[in-house]
Amino acid sequence: MTQEAPEPLVAYDHTDLVNRPKRIWNWGNIPLPGLLLPALGAAFGFGLVWLVTLFTVSAFMPVLGLSMWTSILYFGPPFAVYFVWGRPLPSALTLSQQLVVWADYWFQPKRLQGLAADREPENLHWQVILWTPGSPRWQARYDAARQAAAERGTAFSPRR
């Protein structure tokens, strides 16, 4: 008689996969801090625009030429964008998520047309419509459906 080994339990966590740092390097068995890919993409895009802008301006202002002292000006802001972009704000959103919420709030079609009043309703009321079927044809179908449900013993019509 052989005993089979029980299957190992596997749990999958699919929450916030995009914003989770990717641990792609290991030092022995120790995972090194990973990269936050959305922040890396934002820093790379900003860095390209920033470097092109600074190189263009440095053509007219030689004091901004790439040197040991101006390297902080050239490479500091893209590094800052990487660390700021992926860090959660007090609202628990990252900067990219907060920008999406901000853009959705300010660029709604109703807001752009001046039709969005940002105020709460003063009076709330409930309205209930009660309907009793009056048609004999509908009542016959309803009774037949209730009878079939009672025979099957559904949760809505228990067996008698």
Please report the pLDDT score of residue 37 as a whole number: 77
Q: Which domain holds residue 140?
A: 133-160
Q: Is 117 inside any structural domain?
A: no
Task: Say if residue 144 is in the same domain as residue 78.
Answer: no
Asked if residue 79 lies in contact with residue 43, where contact means CB atoms within 8 angstroms, the answer is yes
Residues 147 and 79 grouped into a single domain: no
Task: Round to whole Å and give the CA distance between 18 and 35.
Answer: 11
Instruction: Express each pLDDT in 8-31 by its tens digit.
Output: 766 555 566 656 666 666 667 766
CA angle 37–38–44, rounded 5-degree value: 85
Same domain (yes/no): 85, 154: no
Within-domain flag for 20: no
Same domain, 96 and 51: yes
Residue 39's nearest CA partner among 54, 24, 19, 56 is 19
Instruction: Output Rg (C-alpha) for the chain, integer angstroms.
Output: 31
Count helices and strands (H / E) in the chain: 5, 2
18 lies in some domain: no
User: To the nearest whole percent, how much of the chain has pLDDT over 70?
Assistant: 69
**Among 99-108, 112-121, 144-153, which stretch is predicted with the lowest mean pLDDT?**
112-121
For 37-73, how does the pLDDT look when each residue is reduced to its tens digit (9 = 90+)? 788 889 999 999 999 999 899 888 888 887 888 888 8
Please give the model's pTM, rounded to 2 decimal places.
0.49
Taking 60 as the threshold, does the pLDDT of residue 3 lie above it? Answer: yes
144 plus 98 within the same structural domain? no
- Judge whether 36 lies within some domain: yes
The per-residue pLDDT of the chain, averaged, comes to 76
Report residue 89's pLDDT band, with 50, 70 and 90 as the boundaries.
confident
